[in-house]
Structure 1
Amino acid sequence: MGGPPGAAAPAAPAPRRRRLPLVLALVLLLVLAGAGVAVVRPGPVAGWLGEKAEPAGTAAGTTEPSPSAVLGEPDPNAPVPTPDGVRAALDPLVRAAALGDRVNVSVADVATGQSLFARGADDPTVPASVTKLVTGVTVLAARGPAYRIPTRAVAGPNPGEVVVVGGGDPTLAVDGKGFYPGAARLDDLARQVKEALGGTAPTKVIVDSSLYSGPVYEPGWDDDIPTGGYGAAITALMTDGARRDVPQAKKDHENGDHGAERVAQPDLAAGRAFARLLGLPASAVSRGTAPAAADATAGAPGSELGKVESLPLVRMVDIMITDSDNVIAEALARQVALARGKPASFSGAAAAMDEVAGELGLPADELALADGSGLSRTDRISPSLLTDLIALAGDGSHPELAAIFGGLPVGGWSGTLGERYGSEGTKAGAGMVRAKTGTLTGVHAIAGLVTTADGRLLTFAVLTDRVPADGLDSARVALDRIAATLAGCGCR
């Protein structure tokens, strides 16, 4: 186990007891990710999607312009930093008062797996949103990058009754003006239903969100999260991540604000939107469950009237990590539970992610989750698990896991790091750091990859959960200095 909080790092850390395999594929994967590989481009990601067409509402064959590469290209032949060199560079920084009195750190060389700095590295710590790295890896392992979440409509028990069955797609849109580009749409589902019903007029919409169980809010969430714009009631049927005002949310998002007011009952709100598309009033909507399909005859109770499918998981993981989308994270965590035959609840998802992490060879004893987003203060992850996970995702042994790199923000360039690494002492990290951040009051974390001045690729994680409550900006700068220092030195 790592040393106690405040202890100095050992002069020469021993190699991790968990072997990190030789990373031959990682350089290529990271260069591709740094160049902005998207799901519509050729290569490994396109292969994960198979021959399936894009969901309705997405222009088939549309490609995005290729952004400029911004991530520093690693050199597999670059000299490896020494533990003494890394310790000399980081020791003063991890003791910064702005980070509080519990700062746990792991730094390792990606190609060799050698631990270069360990300070409380094996100590489970409140991780905040870096939890999403675990959620991303486990859902990609359990479901695969090409998996799409269905939303179905089936015939109800009486003629004209339509049951809309939520499959857990948080990006589902009402129409082409939805929040998430390319998402599945209720207007497409309504069109299919009308065609399937033929001359029978719709009379009622029954909302079936029974796929999920347990509370809609995790008990460990801060009181302001359900109404504060960054969380929502987690239901199996919702549209636009449960956002109330989608046009305003899109404008705010363009200005860097990912928060938005959410509806209190996302499943019923989606059902009412679906009813409007079928020409029915809100009073025609109620909750229920879909009847079993005992008869294959079209229109018989339980028979399918239509289906739409989400973006592939590779894209949803991208969005979750880039925007730190908490609602998508909770939905993906439940997909891990469903894939492992566990209840699609907070507790079922946490147990399933722990199980999959263990199957991947990660130290599950250093992982204790209550949710998939990191909003819960009862979550615990060790820094060394995160550095192991990042190396595993890129070592080529599980190619599907490399999808987590595409969404990782780049320092001074994109996502939650877009406005960082511009101040004195942090500029060396701009374009050289690719990482996921995490923030709760008193909790600040960062985990990802950094290319050193010599071109060596390192993985790092810094978790601190006793930061002064009023120290948000100073804590972020202190974290950025650690990663920027690794980027700017040879540390030999």
Structure 2
Amino acid sequence: MLASLAVLVATTGYVAADVMDVAPGILTLDRPVAIPTPTVSGTPAPVLLPVPAATVDPMLTDEGATAPLPTAKGLADAVGGASDDPALDGGVGISVRDAITGDELYALDADQPRVPASTAKLLAALAVADTLDLREAMTTRVVATPGSSDLVLVAGGDTLLAPGKGTPDAVAGRAGLADLASQVAAALKPTGTTEVTLRLDLSWAPGPRYPPAWNPDDVRDGFTQAVVMTGLATQLPAAGRPSPIRPETEVAKAFVAALKAKGVSATLAPDKTWGDPASEDAVELGSVRSATYGEVLDLALDRSENALTENLVRQAAATAGLRTTRGGDNAAFIVERLTAHGIPTEGLVLKDASGLSPGQAASAATLSGVLQLVATDNPDQVPGLRDVIAGLPVSGVSGTMRGRFSSDATQDVVGVPRAKTGTLKAGSSLAGTTVTADGRPLTFVVLVDEFPKDFGGTLRARAALDRIVAALTRCGCR
């Protein structure tokens, strides 16, 4: 596995961005870790900052809010002892905040822009949570003009459609094309219609198929796919297994097959017509709803899905009535939302919403500003963002954090830190939440970009990030 990943790092355009955080086998901790489901005053609450099951005070309770604050000197000593790799000298940016008040407790070169890699998705998450109602879902509909056998499948943004029946408790595959076909066939039955034409309406949130700064090799190698407003959950990209070049065509073909299974023969209209909106007087024949925006955003962060993140930000921008058709529109929208919340953007360079493009930069201060918005005492909290941060992958347990914190130097804190990972040859990062040994909840951002730009250097950077966050977690630091 290590050898194959070394080749991957050396040959791909994406240079293993996050792939080593999700590939089975590498640095993976197989033993199960119990994560408690706490309550506050008897009411279930989001697990923002979990701790190992053997301990108490599992999240932001009153007791956690009164736990001692670590001192700046204590944090500096802890970080200094954990980041002693000489290859990282001068290349570390850190911001640590109290998760109760949002106050910054410790910073190291926090204003220096560095490569954010996929932690840039946290900036995207703010823009999405600030604009879309995360409790709402995307709807895929089929409509027809009264008296016509011309059907239009109206894409509503869901790229996680099941080609068959939907699964109600799933995120990927909740809405099923077979269920949609059943509704359409039932609606057509009274008229005796068994032959139809079908086209897609892709007019919602239009934009470039790929952000201009993306490396085409990343698409070829399965690290991302086209950013469109419909797609199949069964065709999500994976390292070494690329998605179809045109996900929308695959949806159309799958729906034709689903209709055929219900006794309706459909002929596809030319795809050059698919950008046209459905007629305003069209009547709905059926519809299926996706998982909620919040659930889909959680999935995008958990798996570090690049195109899915771009899709959600584009939908948010369109919902806000902003332009989505140019290559830099997603990035501009994110910066606008950051600025609106007073988050520092000095030195910020965004070319996409996912962190995939080369040449991007963000400081620890910028990322920390987003996490500060979920502080308990912050009156400017963004609705839904707290739940998004609560759903970040858990160290050693889930998502892109499953294979992290597995060394002898860090596995004692497994199950405590939650974070969004970022792993590129040019820079590595972790940003999320943890709880100190005294029970005080913290948010943290750690960026590293001065290390050997090879496979070994990438592993050293990851190990340094884990050691630093582990030191924060086990810190009494009073």
Give the TM-score of the pair, scaled to structure 1. Answer: 0.76
SS at 2:384 equivalent: helix
Residues of 2 paired with 1:124 and 1:213: CA distance?
A: 31
1:367 is displaced (CA, Å) by 4.0
Residues of 1 paired with 2:427 and 2:66: CA distance?
A: 37
Aligned counterpart in structure 1 of residue 257 of structure 2, from 276, 287, 292:
276
SS at 2:369 equivalent: helix
Tell me, yes or no, if structure 1 residue 201 matches structure 2 residue 185. Answer: no
1:98 is displaced (CA, Å) by 4.7
Query: In terms of mean alpha carbon deviation, does 158-167 or 382-391 score higher?
Result: 158-167
* Partner in structure 2 of residue 265 of structure 1: 246
Opposite residue 351 of structure 1, the aligned amino acid is A
Residues of 1 paired with 2:209 and 2:388: CA distance?
A: 26
Cα offsets for 1:366-405 (capped at 9, x unmatched): 5442222221224332212222211312436434221213
| Cα root mean square deviation, aligned | 3.0
SS at 2:143 equivalent: strand
Contact 2:219–2:242 (CA under 8 A) maintained in structure 1: no
Opposite residue 335 of structure 1, the aligned amino acid is Q
Is the alpha carbon distance of 1:115 and 1:170 closer, same or farther for their aligned partners in structure 2, counting shifts above 3 Å? same
Tell me, yes or no, if structure 1 residue 172 matches structure 2 residue 161. Answer: yes
Is the alpha carbon distance of 1:420 and 1:78 closer, same or farther for their aligned partners in structure 2, counting shifts above 3 Å? same
Is the alpha carbon distance of 1:168 and 1:367 closer, same or farther for their aligned partners in structure 2, counting shifts above 3 Å? farther
Contact 1:350–1:371 (CA under 8 A) maintained in structure 2: yes
1:226 is displaced (CA, Å) by 0.5
Contact 1:416–1:437 (CA under 8 A) maintained in structure 2: yes
Give the TM-score of the pair, scaled to structure 2. Answer: 0.78
Residues of 2 paired with 1:193 and 1:177: CA distance?
A: 15
* Partner in structure 1 of residue 454 of structure 2: 469
Aligned counterpart in structure 2 of residue 414 of structure 1, from 379, 382, 398:
398
Tell me, yes or no, if structure 1 residue 304 matches structure 2 residue 284. Answer: yes
Aligned counterpart in structure 2 of residue 322 of structure 1, from 302, 318, 336:
302
Residues of 2 paired with 1:83 and 1:387: CA distance?
A: 16
SS at 2:223 equivalent: coil
Is the alpha carbon distance of 1:215 and 1:480 closer, same or farther for their aligned partners in structure 2, counting shifts above 3 Å? same
Opposite residue 382 of structure 1, the aligned amino acid is S
Opposite residue 140 of structure 1, the aligned amino acid is A
Contact 2:150–2:196 (CA under 8 A) maintained in structure 1: yes
SS at 1:129 equivalent: helix
Residues of 1 paired with 2:265 and 2:223: CA distance?
A: 30
Tell me, yes or no, if structure 1 residue 488 matches structure 2 residue 468. Answer: no
1:283 is displaced (CA, Å) by 6.3
Residues of 1 paired with 2:77 and 2:423: CA distance?
A: 27
SS at 1:462 equivalent: strand
Structure 2: tracts of 5 or more residues without a match? 1-33, 47-51
Is the alpha carbon distance of 1:367 and 1:259 closer, same or farther for their aligned partners in structure 2, counting shifts above 3 Å? farther
Tell me, yes or no, if structure 1 residue 163 matches structure 2 residue 152. Answer: yes
Aligned counterpart in structure 1 of residue 174 of structure 2, from 164, 183, 193:
183
Tell me, yes or no, if structure 1 residue 111 matches structure 2 residue 100. Answer: yes
Opposite residue 182 of structure 2, the aligned amino acid is R
Residues of 2 paired with 1:72 and 1:135: CA distance?
A: 28
Is the alpha carbon distance of 1:376 and 1:158 closer, same or farther for their aligned partners in structure 2, counting shifts above 3 Å? farther
Is the alpha carbon distance of 1:130 and 1:449 closer, same or farther for their aligned partners in structure 2, counting shifts above 3 Å? same
Residues of 1 paired with 2:318 and 2:137: CA distance?
A: 13
Aligned counterpart in structure 2 of residue 227 of structure 1, from 208, 220, 224:
220
Residues of 2 paired with 1:217 and 1:204: CA distance?
A: 29
Contact 1:109–1:457 (CA under 8 A) maintained in structure 2: yes
Cα offsets for 1:215-239 (capped at 9, x unmatched): 2122222342112222001111211
Residues of 2 paired with 1:157 and 1:466: CA distance?
A: 64
Cα offsets for 1:220-273 (capped at 9, x unmatched): 2234211222200111121117438xxxxxxxxxxxx77742001111111111
Residues of 2 paired with 1:89 and 1:372: CA distance?
A: 33
Instruction: Within 5 Å, give how 1:66-465 maps onto structure 2.
Output: 72-73=58-59, 75-94=64-83, 96-99=85-88, 102-155=91-144, 159-176=148-165, 180-181=171-172, 183-198=174-189, 199-240=192-233, 242-243=235-236, 260-279=241-260, 284-287=268-271, 288=273, 289-290=275-276, 292-295=278-281, 302-345=282-325, 346-365=327-346, 367-395=348-376, 397=379, 398=381, 399-465=383-449
1:461 is displaced (CA, Å) by 0.6
Contact 2:198–2:266 (CA under 8 A) maintained in structure 1: no
Opposite residue 110 of structure 1, the aligned amino acid is A
1:180 is displaced (CA, Å) by 4.4
Query: In terms of mean alpha carbon deviation, does 379-388 or 179-188 score higher?
Result: 179-188
1:365 is displaced (CA, Å) by 4.2
1:72 is displaced (CA, Å) by 4.9
1:160 is displaced (CA, Å) by 1.8
Number of residue pairs matched? 417
Cα offsets for 1:288-346 (capped at 9, x unmatched): 24555354xxxxxx332222221111211221222222232121111221121123355
Opposite residue 481 of structure 1, the aligned amino acid is R
* Partner in structure 1 of residue 17 of structure 2: none
Structure 1: tracts of 5 or more residues without a match? 1-32, 46-66, 245-256, 296-301
* Partner in structure 2 of residue 254 of structure 1: none
Higher relative contact order, chain-length normalized (CA < 8 Å, sep 6+): 2
SS at 1:310 equivalent: strand
Query: In terms of mean alpha carbon deviation, does 345-354 or 82-91 score higher?
Result: 345-354
1:182 is displaced (CA, Å) by 5.3
Opposite residue 123 of structure 1, the aligned amino acid is Q
Is the alpha carbon distance of 1:93 and 1:436 closer, same or farther for their aligned partners in structure 2, counting shifts above 3 Å? same
Opposite residue 98 of structure 2, the aligned amino acid is D
1:87 is displaced (CA, Å) by 1.5
1:101 is displaced (CA, Å) by 5.1
Residues of 2 paired with 1:132 and 1:238: CA distance?
A: 21
1:360 is displaced (CA, Å) by 2.8
Is the alpha carbon distance of 1:118 and 1:291 closer, same or farther for their aligned partners in structure 2, counting shifts above 3 Å? closer
Q: Identity, % of aligned pairs?
A: 36
SS at 1:381 equivalent: coil
Task: Give the ranges of 4+ consecutive aligned residues of structure 1 lying more than 6 Å apart after TM superposition.
Answer: 67-71, 280-283
* Partner in structure 1 of residue 24 of structure 2: none
Is the alpha carbon distance of 1:149 and 1:100 closer, same or farther for their aligned partners in structure 2, counting shifts above 3 Å? farther
Residues of 1 paired with 2:132 and 2:323: CA distance?
A: 16
Contact 2:310–2:354 (CA under 8 A) maintained in structure 1: yes
Residues of 2 paired with 1:186 and 1:201: CA distance?
A: 18
